[in-house]
Amino acid sequence: MSNQPALKTLYDAPGPRGKTLNIIISALCLAGLVGGMFWVISALNAKGQLAPEKWQPFLTADMWRTYLLPGIAGTLQAAGLAVVLATALGIVLGVGRMSQIKILRYGCGAVVEFFRAMPLLILMIFCFQLFANYNLFPSTQMAMAAVVTGLTLCNGAVIAEIVRAGVHSLPRGQSEASMALGLGSGQMMRMILLPQAITAMLPPIVSQLVVALKDTALGYQITYVEAVRQGVQAGSAYSNYIPALLVVAAVMIAINFALSQLAVTAENRLRKGRKAVVKPEEVAIPQI
Amino acid sequence: MEILTEYGDQLITAFIRTIQLAGLSAVGALVLGTILAAMRVSPVWALRTVATGYVNIVRNTPLTLVVLFASFGLAQQLGVTLVDPNSPTSITDSSFRLAVLAFSTYTATFVCEALRAGVNTVPIGQSEAARSLGLGFTQGLRYIVLPQAFRAVVAPLGSIMIALIKNTTIASVIGVAEASLLMKEVIENTSALIVVGLIFALGFMCLTIPTGAVFGFLSKKLAVRT
């Protein structure tokens, strides 16, 4: 996140020649950037996409009330609901995967691996058709149900892995001590391991929320009313696709960026806190 | 079974399209991601800022939106279709290439972040030794630091590649004829929903599980032992 170089000692402090060179490269880079932006803006301008009347609708209440706000609300609803359900599912699957019972362990493992290998979109299309065939949900909520189901299953599998990594990264002494106290495996998990692991799991789970927010955009393809779809609809209503998509992008980026920062802050705070037994970076699973 | 006889050829073509999308985008993402990572650790302020801004913006944009921008923005507004307009297959080629471009630009941000984490794992002594041998920043990065960084992040790169394979389904939003577009079509024309779902699930598992296995093997084989 920070603008500092990852490793300060990859290079020495520049001398006079180095400084000049750095300034020259900086200037070239900025010139390239400005040139590129100029080209894009002038091309868009030539197409009339930057004309004031294309941007005017964003100042009207109608635009926001009919298109953008319902879309953003839909995105937030689906993502929030999915992350809550996925966390519950993830804890169940993750604990199940560490169970003493063989069938349960392999069963949960198979479920987790299956949903980690499945593209979310395939899952959503499948759920949508499933719900439509068997009338499981009222037709107004079918798309929402499919999006939430898909997100829950995919993210649940990822969170299960986060839970497992969190518990495995606890020091061995924790489980040995609880066994010495005579706790059963279920009690040990519930009273000793999970409470300690959960603090380390928090940052990756917040990052998972960002992933879920971005993935609700897949609902676009199964007619779910979310931000990107509403952006495209607004674009076709006012014939200003580019401005509409830009506004939607700005909103999504702002929300996601804030959430990413929250995850980083949580991680830093946990790292400083003396209570944390597990280092958060041991639990981190690459998010995409 | 009728599904397999009826759609067998189309299934194979669709999954080949998926593989092509994933393969080309993987190459693009690795190249662009490496360049971005090098920019982010470079001593030049402007390069660092530009790369950081790029990563933070693109990484937080939904991929669907990136793909739509490639189609609506680049192709329709700016006229960058990446094809010869006179070729007979220009429309399908154009959406395929735009999809590859979108996936590359999106996935590159994750490659960049992984590589940057990898650069952090390389001991400081390595780049100090490189400098004391008289290597400059780019030489040190190219011959000493990045090769070791790559070997440290093979496993995360594997996860990124698996995510890329799964993400190629999003190309259907601009009409690239890959697996999920075919699935939508098949699922509407048949009643055997579960079978269709399982066929496509199996298809994707055939792609993602071997990829994971290969990267897992490579990460063990290539790990830098200290």
Residue pointed to by tokens 């390239």 = A32
CA distance B88 to chain A (A): 26
The H-assigned helical ranges of chain A are 16-46, 52-55, 61-62, 69-97, 102-117, 120-134, 142-168, 172-180, 185-187, 194-215, 227-238, 241-272
CB B157 within 8 A of CB A288: no
| Residue in chain A nearest B109 by alpha carbon | A288
Residues from chain B contacting residue A117 (CB–CB below 8 Å): 162, 166, 201, 204-205, 208-209
Q: Is the sign of the CA dihedral B197, B203, B206, B209 positive or negative? A: negative
| pLDDT reported for residue B113 | 92
Residue A280 pLDDT class (50, 70, 90 cuts): low
Contacts of B141 in chain A (CB under 8 A): 10
Phi-psi region for residue A129, left (φ > 0), alpha (ψ -120 to 50) or beta?
A: alpha
- Asked if A121 and B73 come within 8 Å (Cβ–Cβ), the reply is no
Determine the residue among A23, A122, A256 to mutate to test chain B binding: the one whose Cβ has the most chain B Cβ atoms within 10 Å.
A122
Burial class of residue B93, CB neighbours in 10 A (0-12, 13-18, 19+): middle
Shortest distance, CA B183 to any CA of chain A (angstroms): 8
Best probe of the A interface among B17, B18, B44, B162, by most A CBs < 10 A, is B44
Q: Do the interacting molecules here have an ipTM over 0.90?
A: no
Find chain A residues with C-beta within 8 A of B173's C-beta. Answer: 220-221
The pLDDT score that the predictor gives to residue A65 is: 84
Angle at which helices B193-222 and B179-189 pack, to 10 degrees? 160
Is A122 in contact with B110 (Cβ distance < 8 A)? no
Residue A183 to chain B, least CA–CA distance (Å): 36
> Looking at chain B from residue 182 to 201, which residues have their Cβ under 8 Å from any Cβ of chain A?
183-184, 187-188, 193, 197, 200-201
Q: What is the mean pLDDT of residues B49-64?
A: 92
Q: Between chains, do A10 and B63 touch, taking CB under 8 Å as contact?
A: no
Note whether A257 contacts B56, CB cutoff 8 Å.
yes
**Would you place residue A10 in the very low, low, confident or very high pLDDT band (cuts 50, 70, 90)?**
confident
Q: Which residues of chain A are within 8 Å of residue B205 when distances are taken between CB atoms?
A: 114, 117-118
Note the pLDDT tens digit of each residue in A231-277: 888 888 888 888 888 889 999 999 998 988 888 888 788 777 645 55
Are B197 and A256 inside 8 Å of each other by CB? Answer: no
pLDDT, one tens digit per residue, over A136-147 is 888 888 889 999
A119 burial type by CB count under 10 A (0-12 exposed, 13-18 middle, 19+ buried): buried
Give the closest of A217, A241, A257 to B72, CB-based: A241
As a whole-number percent, the residues of chain A with pLDDT over 90 amount to 32
- Specify the CATH superfamily of domain B2-222: MetI-like (1.10.3720.10)
Q: Which two tokens stand for residue B107?
A: 């996935």
| Options 1.10.1450.10, 1.10.3720.10, 1.10.10.10, 1.10.30.50; CATH of A58-282 | 1.10.3720.10
| Residue B217 confidence (pLDDT) | 92
For residue B206, what is the nearest residue in chain A, using CA coordinates? A117
Tell me the C-alpha distance between B135 and B142, whole Å. 10
pLDDT, tens only, A179-232: 999 998 888 988 889 888 887 788 888 888 888 989 998 988 888 888 888 888
Q: Does residue B64 have a pLDDT over 70? A: yes
**Cβ(A231)–Cβ(A248) below 8 Å:** yes
pLDDT in tens, B71-118: 888 888 887 777 777 777 788 888 899 999 999 999 999 999 999 989
Return d(Cα A243, Cα A278) in angstroms, integer. 46
Cβ distance B159 to A285 less than 8 Å, yes or no, reads yes
Residue A200 near residue A275, CB atoms below 8 Å: no
Domain ranges (residues) in chain A: 8-46, 58-282
For an interface test with A, the pick among B40, B48, B65, B193 (most A C-beta atoms closer than 10 Å) comes out as: B65
pTM, to two decimals: 0.88
- Domain extent listing, chain B: 2-222
Neighbour-count burial for A121-146, b at 16+ CB within 10 Å, e otherwise:
bbbbbbbbbbbbeeeeeeeeebbbbb
Compare all CA atoms of chain A with the CA of B193 and give the residue at the minimum distance.
Answer: A130
How long, in residues, is chain B? 226
The predicted model gives B149-174 an average pLDDT of: 92
Q: Report residue A66's pLDDT band, with 50, 70 and 90 as the boundaries.
A: confident
Within the 11-70 window of chain B, which residues sit less than 8 Å (CB to CB) from chain A?
40-50, 52, 56-57, 60-65, 68-69
* Contact flag A5-B40 (C-beta cutoff 8 Å): yes
Contact B3, B149 (CB under 8 A): no
